[in-house]
Amino acid sequence: MPVRPTAAPLLLATLLTATALSACGSGSGSDPDTVKVSFKQSTDNSIRVMDTYLGEMKKEFEKANPGKKVELVPIKAPDSEYYTKLQQMLRSPKTAPDLVYEDTFLINSDITSGYLKPLDPYLDKWPDWNQFVDTAQSAAKAQDGKTYGVPDGTDTRGLWFDKDIFKKAGLPADWQPKTWDEVLAAARTIKAKVPGVTPLNVYTGKPAGEAATMQGFEMLLYGTGDGTSDPLYDTASKKWIAGSRAFKDALTFVHTVYKEKLGPDVSDALDPNFPTTVRGELMPKGKLGINLDGSWLPQDWLKGAGHEWPEWSQKLGLAYMPTQTGQAPGKVSMSGGWTWSIPAKASNPDLAFKFIETMQTKANAQKWYIANSGIAVRKDVASDPGYVKAQPGIKFFTDLVASTHYRPAYPAYPKVSTAIQEAMEGVTTGDSSVDKAASGYDEELKTATDNQVIRK
């Protein structure tokens, strides 16, 4: 006797399927009274500068806006993996937070992808926006003329040196090199006279990511010309520059550092966590002579940070990075920074901007610049003695803003940056000569920029 299909199993099967399918449809569920904020958490567990600050902001915001909540969503990862994770979150309204922390190096890429919301309607109604310096206002301005982020400070870069090591090597305590050769000469002196320390650190290779490109390579490359034209991107023809003399010169510097063993051991330099090691171990323990690095280093050494090191300002000296041969303008620095942006797929954009306003009041912005050793982008803070005197070094790095350069903020930049890291890595390991690494870059550049390449 054949079994008759009755309604019951049919119904049951349909129901089962339906529930199974809908169960994964409403994952995150957006609450209209909650702002979800994604930010990058340090991979060093003892460093919680940003977590602490955002915790305070959350309290202040919830007190001022009863019934509204802030949910902090930390992403704990090295920079490059943070970007990846964030981009994947931004692709869907289900996972997009309401507020994201974006690196200006990638923001144009994300704008082109349509991941972010233009903030102009909000900024027009926000009086504090006029306090932001021009460069900061355009930090997150896209090619369509709209603004997509509010910067929470900027940064500059220079040479940090260890006064004790310099003393042992017989170098001056007020050291200020005028050319690249003088930087190398000091490193050679340290190598000869102070055994057991790393003379000079220049970040390099793919594991260090953007730190290698910006703190390492571009600090050299942008010091090759007269400081007015961009050595990576030709604005006149709107093309990326390949095969330049300047590029090879900068590579040669990196090559020299590692070939003559003036830098860290190559295997250390190519360890992805090396930047953390430099700040947390090598510098506080007096194991590094000269470090080409950013203005934000002291944030790890402040009170309450993981590697408290209050003596740093007596132990370390600062010098600006000189141009290649000392030609005008004499000094060079790169600037970047991070912005607060609202994803295009955010569920509560208005509330998110309200939270930006809370974070960017004069008092709160000042608190943040100081806490994270950032350089002020608000005019009222920059001229506030409370900020200028808050930390040794702030004045030095704020003055560098006058001679700083910004990276070419085009969607292709992240790929160009990776190509630079590969070229650096080749000359660091000694796998390729400078010429070979440079021609490898030229090839990669064509792929990365869809053949928008010019020879100069």
Partner 1 sequence: MRLRRTLTRALPLTPAVALLLLFLAGPIAYCAYIAFTDLQLTGQAHSSFVGLENFRTAFKDDAFLNAVWLTLVFTVLSSLVGQNTLGLALASLMQRASKPVRTVVGGIVITAWVLPEVVAGFLLYAFFRREGTLNAILDWLHLPTQNWLFTLPILAVSFANVWRGTAFSMLVYSAALNEIPKEITEAAEVDGAGGWRRMWHITLPMIRRSIGTNLMLNTLQTLSVFGLIWVMTRGGPGNRSQTLPLFMYEQAFQKSMIGYGTAVALLLLVVGSLFSLVYMRLLRTEV
Contacting residues toward partner 1, per CB under 8 A:
2-5, 9-10, 13, 16-17, 20-21, 80-81, 83-84, 87-88, 106, 108-110, 112-115, 205-207, 265-267, 270, 272, 411-412, 414-415, 418, 425-426, 429, 431, 447
Nearer to partner 1, 16 or 192 (CB): 16
Nearer to partner 1, 10 or 173 (CB): 10
Nearer to partner 1, 114 or 121 (CB): 114
What gap in Å lies between CA 127 and CA 132, rounded to an integer?
Answer: 10
Distance of closest approach, residue 35 Cβ to partner 1, in angstroms: 23
User: Where in 163-308 does DSSP place strands (E)?
Assistant: 198-201, 233-234, 239-242, 288-294
What gap in Å lies between CA 24 and CA 95, rounded to an integer?
Answer: 13
What gap in Å lies between CA 419 and CA 422, rounded to an integer?
Answer: 5
Count Cβ atoms within 10 A of the Cβ of residue 209 and give its class: 0-12 exposed, 13-18 middle, 19 or more buried.
buried
Distance of closest approach, residue 373 Cβ to partner 1, in angstroms: 28
Structure tokens at 130: 């006029």
Nearer to partner 1, 184 or 448 (CB): 448
Distance of closest approach, residue 424 Cβ to partner 1, in angstroms: 11
What gap in Å lies between CA 144 and CA 152, rounded to an integer?
Answer: 22
CA distances for 443 relative to 208, 230, 232, 282, 318, angstroms: 22, 20, 15, 36, 38
Q: Are 303 and 160 in contact (CB under 8 A)?
A: no
Distance of closest approach, residue 1 Cβ to partner 1, in angstroms: 11
What gap in Å lies between CA 437 and CA 435, rounded to an integer?
Answer: 5
Nearer to partner 1, 324 or 449 (CB): 449
Nearer to partner 1, 184 or 208 (CB): 208
Q: Are 372 and 338 in contact (CB under 8 A)?
A: no
Nearer to partner 1, 9 or 386 (CB): 9
The torsion angle over the Cα atoms of residues 362, 364, 365 and 367, rounded to 10 degrees, is 120
Distance of closest approach, residue 294 Cβ to partner 1, in angstroms: 22
Nearer to partner 1, 106 or 136 (CB): 106
Contacts of 137 (CB under 8 A, 6+ apart): 129, 147
Nearer to partner 1, 91 or 354 (CB): 91
CA distances for 273 relative to 29, 85, 201, 208, 281, angstroms: 36, 18, 14, 8, 12
Distance of closest approach, residue 274 Cβ to partner 1, in angstroms: 12
Distance of closest approach, residue 108 Cβ to partner 1, in angstroms: 8
CA distances for 315 relative to 82, 290, 306, 374, angstroms: 33, 12, 18, 21
Structure tokens at 254: 């990196």
Distance of closest approach, residue 151 Cβ to partner 1, in angstroms: 20
Distance of closest approach, residue 295 Cβ to partner 1, in angstroms: 26
Nearer to partner 1, 140 or 375 (CB): 140
Distance of closest approach, residue 110 Cβ to partner 1, in angstroms: 5
Edge-to-edge order in the sheet of strand 288-294: 198-201, 288-294, 157-162, 316-319
Structure tokens at 334: 């790169």
